[in-house]
Amino acid sequence: MDLYLIRHGIAAEPEEYDTDSERPLTKEGNRKTRKIAQRLYELEIQFDLILTSPLLRAQQTAQILQTADLSSKIEESGALAPSGEIGNWLEWYKQWQEIGSRSLALVGHQPDLGHWAETLLWARSQDALILKKAGIIGLILPETGSPVGRSQMFWLTAPKFLLH
């Protein structure tokens, strides 16, 4: 199972909005995220599902990925909101894994996505993996059992390597 952890694109500054959840992508964030989505399409990457944080900037990022024909399905998950619990996502994943899907994208926030990747790789968070805005971490999760501490990284990409 291929898992892609994707950080939302460049967002408006927090002081411009009443709540963090209202912050949209900036024009530059929208443009760069569209280019990255197009590059993923050119690389023939497809997701059975895009699971996104409920925050606006993450939802906009997920919609850009869907518009680029990377997936036909988007679902929202509170587990992907800032400070969301990986344990909640793991419960969801256990159920979702049973349908036999092969590729999943999670659109969320830093430092959470970095921590989640570390947990899946090493069974503990070390604050070592930094995911840039619109950056991607690719993990291979085991076919059976818990993925915690049993996953393999195949991709860690800053957005600049996908922009052309």
- Does residue 101 carry a pLDDT above 90? no
Mean pLDDT, to the nearest integer, of 1-11? 97
| Rounded Cα distance, 140 and 159, in Å | 20
pLDDT in the model for residue 19: 94
Read off φ and ψ for residue 51, nearest 5 degrees: -105, 125
For residue 76, name the pLDDT band (cuts at 50, 70, 90): very high
pTM metric for this prediction: 0.96
pLDDT digits over 25-74, tens only? Answer: 999 999 999 999 999 999 999 999 999 999 999 999 999 999 999 999 99
**What is the DSSP pairing of strand 49-52 with strand 2-7?**
unpaired
- Cβ 127 vs Cβ 143: under 8 Å: no
All residues at 6 or more sequence positions from 22 whose CB lies less than 8 Å from its CB, including other chains = 56
8 Å CB contact between 96 and 125: no
Q: What is the pLDDT of residue 47?
A: 98
Q: How far apart are CA 58 and CA 33, in angstroms?
A: 11
- 163 has pLDDT over 90: no
pLDDT of residue 2: 97
Residue 164 has pLDDT above 80, yes or no: no
